[in-house]
Amino acid sequence: MSLHPDQVLSDLKAGKYAPVYFLQGEESFYIDQISDFIETNCLQEAEKGFNQTIMYGKDVVMSQVITNARRFPMMAERQVVMVKEAKDIQDIGKEEGQKLLMDYLDNPVPSTVLVFAHKHKKVDGRKPLSKALTKKSLLVTTAKLRDYELPKWIEAYVKDQGLRINYSSVQLLAEYIGTNLERLSNEISKVAINLKEGEEINETLIQKYVGINKDYNVFELQKAISERNVLKAGKIVSYFSANIRAHSIIPMIALLYGYYTKLLKVHSAKDKSDSGLARAIGVPPFVVKEYKMAASHYALTKVMQNIKHLHEADLKSKGVNAGAMKEEEVLKELVFKLMH
């Protein structure tokens, strides 16, 4: 059966183990979470010596995996057989290897917890193995989060850790860390270690422990553009341009595109109340005043023009119609066009 990673982790924490786990997909964070939990918690330390077998795909064929899975545990309730980098099992893409696994799925050993950590790739959905895994194993298929899904993921992850985080901090982490969930979780942990009792995660703590410059970051650039503060925007652009490899224009364009898209919704919204605009653009009501102020600085026609400028800059950043322009030159040109 196919389950969401959160449900699988919840069951594992409750002591519910399935005979076969097949963890596949592009997002390795969840695969690592589940396999690490099983490796750490399924057996007592004293049981692991005889009953926990860790294999690596490139070193084995499927028959070796199945032979280990069919053994019985020694002086323990169960054994764990885990295959890391399972996509590299030498014959997992061949008919005989797949048939061996399907035969095992028909009659798994109840005292074995067999785990395939099949990171960065999925089994071909057209093959009989894919259908067998869906019906007869606990199947987890992961995908990379999209940028717009990231804020909700951060909020949920922080809450799951028993912590609190404010809106601006969620946006800051989402922008600067991006969709690398492993790094995100590590950075949140760094901040959490330094929290005082009852304290929520805020921008100051993130800037201090994650290492984001409080004066020269993309949110300060967005703020300067929204206020039409040419001097401040120019200083930030110069700072970014001096080390463009550490301040790629691509995520900046994505952020600013989202920002101007919200301004477009502010201009076109029928309900101009704070609560109505908050619903329309998907932000907390206390943030709405910033967008209303920006909308007063940028008329509807200018907002539409700026969205076009962002699209053109996105193409140039990827080498389309850029000529000999460097990335920092594309950034300078973009900010100038947005503000004039």
Predicted local confidence at residue 132, as pLDDT: 95
pLDDT tens, position by position, 142-166: 999 888 788 899 999 999 889 999 9
**DSSP β-ladder status, 52-56 and 20-25:** unpaired
Strand partners, 119: 25
**DSSP β-ladder status, 79-84 and 52-56:** parallel
The secondary structure element, H or E, covering residue 81 is strand 79-84
Predicted local confidence at residue 247, as pLDDT: 83
Predicted local confidence at residue 168, as pLDDT: 84
**Which CATH number is associated with domain 218-339?**
1.20.272.10
Residue 113 clears pLDDT 80, i.e. is over it:
yes
pLDDT tens, position by position, 170-228: 988 887 888 889 999 999 999 999 998 889 998 889 888 888 777 788 888 998 999 99
The secondary structure element, H or E, covering residue 117 is strand 112-119
Mean pLDDT, the chain, whole residue set: 91
**Which CATH number is associated with domain 147-209?**
1.10.8.60
Task: Give percent of the chain with pLDDT exceeding 70.
Answer: 100
Angstrom distance (rounded) from CA 76 to CA 305: 68
Residue 21 clears pLDDT 90, i.e. is over it:
yes
Predicted local confidence at residue 171, as pLDDT: 84
Write down the domain spans for the chain: 5-142, 147-209, 218-339
Predicted local confidence at residue 71, as pLDDT: 95
Residue 251 clears pLDDT 90, i.e. is over it:
no
Q: What is the mean pLDDT of residues 275-289?
A: 87
Angstrom distance (rounded) from CA 71 to CA 88: 23
pLDDT tens, position by position, 25-84: 999 999 999 999 999 999 999 999 999 999 999 999 999 999 999 999 999 999 999 999
Predicted local confidence at residue 224, as pLDDT: 92
Strand partners, 165: 201
For the CA atoms of the chain, what is the radius of gyration?
Answer: 25
DSSP code at position 116: E
Q: How far is CA 40 from the centre of its chain?
A: 24
pLDDT tens, position by position, 228-250: 999 999 999 999 898 888 888 88
**Which CATH number is associated with domain 5-142?**
3.40.50.300
